[in-house]
Structure 1
Amino acid sequence: MTVSGDALTRGAQHGEALRKEIQDFVRDDFARVNRIRHAPLSAARIWRIVDEHRQVLEAEVPELAREVQGLARGADIRYEEALLLQLRRELIGAPAGPAGGDCSTLAVRDAQGRRMAQTVDQDGLIADLGIVLRILPEHDGAPEVLMFTFAGLLGYLGLNSFGLGVSINLLTSDMEGPGVPPYLLVREALTRPDAASAVDRLGALRRASARALTLFDAQGVTCCEFTPSRLRVWQAHSFLRTNHFLHEELVPHDRLNIFSRNGSRKRLELLKAGLPAAVDDASTFTLLSDHSLFPTGLCAHAEGDIRRPDTVAAVVMRPDEGVLSVVKGNPCRATPVRFQLSRPPDAARVAPVLNEAASC
């Protein structure tokens, strides 16, 4: 779907177009939060957490807060319910299933240019809510954005018309109070012309929880890991990652359970082993369909268990071309659909550079 106009209008268009899906989901035991958690939260506690984060959003990312307000109006839900959709991961907390499992990401250069790919792993059986959202620029100088996300969620992963691609991976650390949810941090990053300015913006905001963002612009890959109070960045020519901290200064803050950490390391090894054969988009989707660790692994199957990780989509992005290809649902079962920006990114911005950083 495509949205345009100012923040309130964009949100209203999103909410109106997906009103039934959003209403049904947010009112299904708080967007299924309490169906996933082993220790459900009371309604009073949920709304208190939402309100604490609301204050931060309105102060630090007011345009996104207005877009959430528009979403509520368009979907005919309460503002607090629309905010809950942005905070769902924070309310769920650490991975619920004992085996863990989550998104797996790669960023490389090939004969065609820059290629980013990611599995989208979620608990809650939400594959049917996946959407591709096109955000047209509100004014001259603003980028067009193309994202994969979910009904009612204003950010997830994507690329912009400056040639910047951003993927996201769950990391787990101690919570430290309210902040901007990382999915909305991706939206903020995608307003920027390059990785450096995106990272500057991330560092200036209070962050609700830990994540890893992989940012790919013409200068190479920027690897960004953060907790609510710490942010570390390094550069790479190519990069693979899963869901444990890699930066040595942040490893001590990792709170991922041992089962999930072992699964994350196994998936990283699978990416490394499969990367030489993943030479184009089609073979990348094949890699992301790997069942070596079934029913978890790169292509995870929840098999109807709401608490189990499920690969609800797989995405390959071409930031040089402004192309996002998506398989909705398990990548082993479907054919990719190709989406493209209205106009290709500025060639001057996305031209390859000669001095590339070493791989990490």
Structure 2
Amino acid sequence: MSLPRELSFPVVELHGSPFERGRQHGAAVPERVARSVALYRTQLERRGVGAERLKALAMAMAPAITRYDPDYFEEMKGIAAGAQVALEDIIVINCRTEMMFGHAELKPTSDEPDDGCTGLIVLPEASANGRLLHAHNWDWREECVDTGIVVRMARDNGPDLLMFTEAGSLARLGMNSAGVSLTGNFLTSNLDYKRPADVPLVLVRRKMLEADNICNAMKVLWASTRFCSNNLMLAQAEGEAVDLECAPDEIFWITPQNGVLVHANHWMCPVARTKLQDKGLAANPDSIYRQRRTEAALARAAGRIDWDIIKAALADELPKPDGVLRSPKPASFASISATVATTLMEPASGVMWIARKPYESRHFVEYRL
């Protein structure tokens, strides 16, 4: 029985060659791809980037994408063909952080919402069911409730993938059949956007999700160079996790304490704090108490953390609308910032649960590898 549209995200099944996978993606959800295109075109246009300049900026990213992995560029071509949109629009979706924040010619936007998020990982020894639990609130534009999709990808040369992402995008968060899981959080520093654009964050995330274990996923990250900062929470189902705070030129790490790892949107590693200027807290000081409140909620259930406790921690609304769970509020260019989705992952079981618009409904829909 199909689920009501207002509760679930569409599942897109992908297999075959890179281009064919992309074509299947675009053809399965063309209306959602079109919404993604419209969202980011509109944001860039309102920041002074017209259609021709957008195309030029997007296609300037093509060589970096191809250098990193030509299969990814083929997959983007396939999405464009399947959804019948321009290739530059698919590049923009996959390079949206670099495109929206990384060009000096863009008009400044003091109230532009960052891709926020609160993430957590509970190791097996701290969980009630003895399995690793990985969860995440995605805070971004409310419009993305109608661009989100779940991708299930069968691969011949590596683990199969189950991902939650924006239509048109190659990755956001997810897990694979080898037990690797990954989520990401927005970070900023004084070193961002100072070097030529290199590997888009989306592609690094995708390649990490293709790794056959946590070690090789980290090797992917250390082999990449970045245009801007980002935080990545990485886990292995059998019982390992690490938080990786990525500056453009360096990676800092945090490991679980008492079997628990939590990260919001400010630098936590003491070494990073001494070396970098955090540029995000002025706009998002809520990150400080989101971090503390989530840690405290899990600490109160030490050694017996279950999904109900995690759901409650990620549904903490104090102070509304700026809690761990963000209720919709106006953002720049008449858009709305909110928690788009809450995602729960149990990689050992190959199961993901997602609540769409969790500020309205805490109904979690199950998706399986």
Q: TM-score range by the shorter chain?
A: 0.7 to 0.9
Q: In structure 1, what is the equivalent of residue 30 of structure 2?
A: 19
1:215 matched residue in structure 2: 234
For residues 64-93 of structure 1, give each alpha carbon's deviation from its aligned partner in whole angstroms, at most 9, with x where no partner exists: 111111111111112111111111222222
Q: TM-score, normalised by structure 2?
A: 0.84
Structure 1 residue 99: Cα displacement? 8.1
Instruction: Report the counterpart of residue 136 of structure 2 in structure 1.
Output: 118
Q: Paired residue for 1:293?
A: 319
Letter in 1 for 2:174: G
| Long gaps (5+) in structure 2 | 1-11, 103-108
Other structure's SS at 1:59 match: helix
Letter in 2 for 1:92: M
Match of residue 72 from structure 1: 80
Structure-2 residue corresponding to 1:89:
97
Q: Which residue of 1 aligns with 2:262?
A: 240
Which residue number corresponds to residue 268 of structure 1?
291
| 1:185 corresponds to 2:204 | yes
Match of 1:61 among 57, 69, 72: 69
Contact 1:97 1:309 in 2 (8 A): no
- 1:169-217 C-alpha deviation (Å, 9 max, x unpaired): 0111311221222122111001111221111111212323211111111
**Which of 119, 124, 129 lines up with 1:105 in the alignment?**
119
Deviation at 1:52, TM superposition (A): 2.6
SS at match of 2:76: helix
User: Do 2:76 and 2:87's aligned partners in 1 also have CA atoms closer than 8 Å?
Assistant: yes
Shift of 1:313: 0.2
Counterpart contact for 1:156–1:186, Cα < 8 Å: yes
Shift of 1:43: 3.7
Give deviations 1:95-136, integer Å, cap 9, x for gaps: 853786710011012132100110011136321111111111
Does the 8 Å contact 1:6/1:138 carry over to 2?
A: no
2:351/2:367 contact within 8 Å kept: yes
Task: Classify 1:101/1:83 alpha carbon distance in 2 versus 1 (closer, same or farther; 3 Å).
Answer: closer
Alignment partner for residue 200 of structure 1, among 211, 219, 222?
219
Within the candidate set 13, 16, 22, 1:5 is matched to 16
Equivalent residues of 1:159, 1:319 under 8 A apart: yes
| Deviation of the 1:235 alpha carbon | 3.2
Note the C-alpha offset of 1:44.
Answer: 4.3
Pick closer, same or farther for the CA change 1:321–1:181 going to 2, 3 Å.
same
Taking the aligned partners of 2:128 and 2:318, their CA distance within structure 1 comes to 28
Aligned position for 1:312: 340
After superposition, what is the alpha-carbon deviation per residue over 1:233-284, rounded to whole angstroms, capped at 9, x for unaligned? 3433421000111223333434424433521111101101211348222332
**What one-letter code is carried by the residue in structure 2 that aligns with 1:296?**
D
The size of the alignment, in residue pairs, is 336
**1:326-341 alignment, distance < 5 Å:** 326-341=354-369
Q: Distance in 2 between matches of 1:8 and 1:206?
A: 26
Compare 208-217 and 26-35 and name the one that shifted more. 26-35
Say whether the 8 Å CA contact 1:165–1:216 is kept in structure 2: yes
Cα 1:249–1:49 change in 2 (3 A) is farther
**Structure 1's 153 and 229: CA in aligned 2 closer, same or farther, altered over 3 A?**
same
Gaps of 5+ in 1: 342-360
1:134-213 mapped onto 2 (5 Å cutoff):
134-139=152-157, 142-173=158-189, 174-175=192-193, 176-213=195-232
AA aligned to 1:4 is H
- Does residue 231 in structure 1 map to residue 251 in structure 2? yes
Label 1:34 to 1:271 Cα distance change in 2 as closer, same or farther (>3 A).
Answer: farther
Which amino acid in structure 2 is aligned with residue 260 of structure 1? A
Distance 1:258 1:165, change over 3 A: closer
Say what the alpha-carbon RMSD is for the aligned residues: 2.3
Taking a change above 3 Å as real, the CA distance of residues 90 and 302 of structure 1, as seen in their structure-2 partners, is: farther
SS at match of 1:32: helix
Q: Quote the offset at 1:300 in angstroms.
A: 0.8
Give the direction of change, closer, same or farther, for the CA distance of 1:103–1:228 in structure 2 (3 Å limit): same
1:47 maps to which of 35, 39, 55: 55
